[in-house]
Chains A and B, each alone.
Chain A
Amino acid sequence: MNPGLIALAFISAIVSAGAFVGFYAGTRRKMDLEQWIVGDRGFGMLLVWLLMAGEVYTTFTFLGASGWAYSKGAPVLYILGYQPLMYVVSFFILPQVWEVGRKFCMQTQADFFHVRYNNKYLAAFVALVGVIFIIPYLQLQLTGLGMIVEVASYGAIHRTPAMIIAFLIVAAFVFTSGIRGIAWVSVLKDLLLLFSAVFVGVAIPYIYFGGIGPMFAELVRAKPAHLVMPGSTTNLGHSWYISTVLLVAFGFYMWPQFFGASFSAKSSDTLRRNAVIMPFYSITMPLMFFIGLAATLILPGLSNGDLSMLTMVRRTFPGWFLGLIGGAGALTAMVPAGVMILTAATLFAKNMCRPILWPGMTDQQVARLAKTTVLVITAIALCSAIYNSPTLVALLLVGYGGVAQFFPGVVLGLYSKRVTTSGVFAGLVTGVFVFVALTLAKRDPLMGLNAGFIALCCNLAVVAAVCLLTPSQCNGFDEQPQESMGA
């Protein structure tokens, strides 16, 4: 039998299994806004761990890690740097966010800003910035999914139909099952990803070089400069490493979807214990690096480094195994995409439309609008992925640096008495502006520093200056909760 057909059968089987799990998770439950977005705040440690891991390890990690190891070399180590550190940062932020989240029945990141700073325009602006940066991230997931399915099916499915089918499935199970559906699909996805990463990461160096040690011995002999920073680049040295690791470690949980996922936990202690054990999941990352590094020796001169892992697998293993990897890769795009769609739709309906345009909306109307928005956002991301526009790629690079600008508002909001609404607003605008300007002017990295890091420093300076010049104000978290926030 044709290996393309076998691979195709495996991919379809895995994606169908994921779709089934996603739909089934939401049946027998009443899907109001609270259940849909935060799973009634009832997720235990294991489900939170899997959901967070499911969201964090996207196709960008799947393809990008081996791609960077292939084309750039040692700078890829920044992934091993920021991943444990972002969990360290989350230890001090997420449990506190959860506490105020429960007290005020928050469902989104913008709700946090709304309550703390008592200003609906700041909340709407935070929601807008969040949605703007989520869409290109979503587009990246789509493009990655199309690439994986196309290569894994030996070109039998073209990337456009693959993207359309997969994303209709995602939109459908987000629509019916909300966050609970996504969490259960990520169980399947994590198992498959873990298995395939460990197997491939160990097998490829073993098959071609007789082990991981001999592979590095060969690399040290042939390409020693590839193995220390700046690797095969000219500008990704140590100062870039430090500034990028700091930026991503502090900025990662500022993504609205990760912030929002913490509300689904059962208790703040769940989140704290989760932060302790999360780094173990990153053990799969070095295995992705090994595949990319093996490819630098075996397949030099690939035009697209992101395809190095799939090309290695296709060259080494039979069709059914490639199908397994393809299916795992497709789910790896679908799970985070589901959370992004859910988050962006809720931010739009709840924090932008209701407070600014139609203050009289009931919670049922918000829920209905959010579900309709799911379809709209999926359509926008699909169009932009199919007619891949270069502006969006530029915006994508802005993503991390952009959402990291929420950091002062969140952390000072939790821990400072002196912070004021105008200070946070001014800092956020400055940070986003500086970062977008530097990125569009192609000045990233600037003087060896990550542009997002520079923008965050400007942001903090403006927050500090404006907060000292404006009179102190009361902290929204000290007030008694009103009913209006709830579902």
Chain B
Amino acid sequence: MYKPSIGAILWALIPFIAICFSVSLWDRIYPRILGLPFNFFWLITWLLLTPVCMWGAYRQEARRASDPRREDGGTP
């Protein structure tokens, strides 16, 4: 059975920590950046950074898929 790599899971944990678990650290108005309250600014920034993290996860999975030593032999 196919399991995702640890590397991909670690990449995926970054947005979870930044967006979800750390809410009490960033849910405030100041400092206002680009005119936005800090909490709005933070989440909008992570809309742009989440694809970056997931691109990292994608690279991890793609590298594994092209590795001939894989044992499960299936498609990624």
Chain A interface residues (CB < 8 Å from chain B) = 74, 77, 80-81, 83-85, 87-88, 91-92, 95-96, 99, 211-214, 216-217, 220, 224, 227-229, 238, 241-242, 245-246, 249, 268-269, 272-273, 275-277, 279-280, 282-283, 286, 289, 414-415, 417, 475, 477
Q: What residues of chain A lie closer than 8 Å to B35, measured between beta carbons? A: 211-214, 216-217
Nearest B residue to A88 by beta-carbon distance?
B12
Closest chain B CB from A240 CB (angstroms): 10
B10 on the A face (CB < 8 A): no
The residue that B50 contacts in the complex, of A87, A269, A417, with Cβ under 8 A, is: A87
Known: A92-B4, A229-B27. 17 other contacts (CB 8 A): A77-B27, A80-B19, A80-B44, A80-B47, A85-B15, A85-B19, A99-B75, A213-B36, A220-B37, A241-B27, A242-B20, A268-B75, A269-B76, A279-B47, A279-B48, A280-B47, A282-B47
Contact in complex: B54, A275 (CB < 8 Å): yes
Closest chain A CB from B4 CB (angstroms): 5
The residue that A84 contacts in the complex, of B8, B50, B61, B76, with Cβ under 8 A, is: B50
Between A and B, 13 residue pairs with Cβ closer than 8 Å are A80-B47, A81-B20, A81-B23, A84-B19, A88-B12, A88-B15, A227-B37, A229-B23, A269-B76, A276-B54, A279-B50, A279-B54, A283-B47
Among B3, B21, B36, residue most surrounded by chain A Cβ atoms (within 10 Å): B36
Q: What residues of chain A lie closer than 8 Å to B37, measured between beta carbons? A: 216, 220, 227-228
Contact in complex: A228, B2 (CB < 8 Å): no
Q: What residues of chain A lie closer than 8 Å to B34, measured between beta carbons? A: 213
Contact in complex: A74, B39 (CB < 8 Å): yes
Nearest B residue to A272 by beta-carbon distance?
B58
The residue that A286 contacts in the complex, of B1, B16, B40, B57, with Cβ under 8 A, is: B40
Contact in complex: B51, A417 (CB < 8 Å): no
Interface residues on B, range: 35 or more
Closest chain B CB from A202 CB (angstroms): 13
Contact in complex: B36, A212 (CB < 8 Å): yes
Nearest A residue to B46 by beta-carbon distance?
A84
The answer for the CA separation of A41 and B8 in the assembled complex, in Å, is 26
Q: What residues of chain B lie closer than 8 Å to A84, measured between beta carbons? A: 15, 19, 46-47, 50
Tell me the total A-B contact number using a CB cutoff of 8 A. Answer: 125
B28 on the A face (CB < 8 A): yes
B29 on the A face (CB < 8 A): yes
Q: With A80-B44, A84-B50 known to touch, is A227 a contact of B29 (CB < 8 Å)?
A: yes
The 10 A-B residue pairs with the shortest CB-CB distance, nearest first, are A213-B35, A84-B50, A80-B43, A276-B54, A279-B50, A245-B20, A238-B23, A88-B12, A227-B37, A81-B19
Contact in complex: A242, B46 (CB < 8 Å): no
- Report whether over half of chain B's contact residues are helix, strand or loop; otherwise say mixed: helix
Closest chain B CB from A191 CB (angstroms): 20
Nearest B residue to A74 by beta-carbon distance?
B39
Closest chain A CB from B25 CB (angstroms): 10
Among A74, A211, A227, A283, residue most surrounded by chain B Cβ atoms (within 10 Å): A227
Q: What residues of chain B lie closer than 8 Å to A269, measured between beta carbons? A: 76
Contact in complex: A277, B43 (CB < 8 Å): no
Q: What residues of chain A lie closer than 8 Å to B8, measured between beta carbons? A: 91-92
Q: What residues of chain B lie closer than 8 Å to A217, measured between beta carbons? A: 35
The residue that A99 contacts in the complex, of B4, B19, B74, with Cβ under 8 A, is: B74
The answer for the CA separation of A438 and B32 in the assembled complex, in Å, is 39
Nearest B residue to A98 by beta-carbon distance?
B75
Q: What residues of chain B lie closer than 8 Å to A282, measured between beta carbons? A: 47
Contact in complex: B27, A246 (CB < 8 Å): no
Closest chain A CB from B50 CB (angstroms): 4
Contact in complex: A246, B20 (CB < 8 Å): yes
Contact in complex: B19, A277 (CB < 8 Å): no
Contact in complex: A415, B1 (CB < 8 Å): yes
The answer for the CA separation of A213 and B33 in the assembled complex, in Å, is 9
Q: What residues of chain A lie closer than 8 Å to B53, measured between beta carbons? A: 88
Contact in complex: A95, B76 (CB < 8 Å): yes
Nearest A residue to B36 by beta-carbon distance?
A216
Among A74, A84, A417, residue most surrounded by chain B Cβ atoms (within 10 Å): A84
B24 on the A face (CB < 8 A): yes
Contact in complex: A245, B27 (CB < 8 Å): no
Contact in complex: A417, B1 (CB < 8 Å): yes
Closest chain B CB from A225 CB (angstroms): 10
Q: With A74-B39, A268-B75, A289-B40 known to touch, is A228 a contact of B50 (CB < 8 Å)?
A: no
Q: What residues of chain A lie closer than 8 Å to B2, measured between beta carbons? A: 96, 99
Q: What residues of chain A lie closer than 8 Å to B74, measured between beta carbons? A: 99
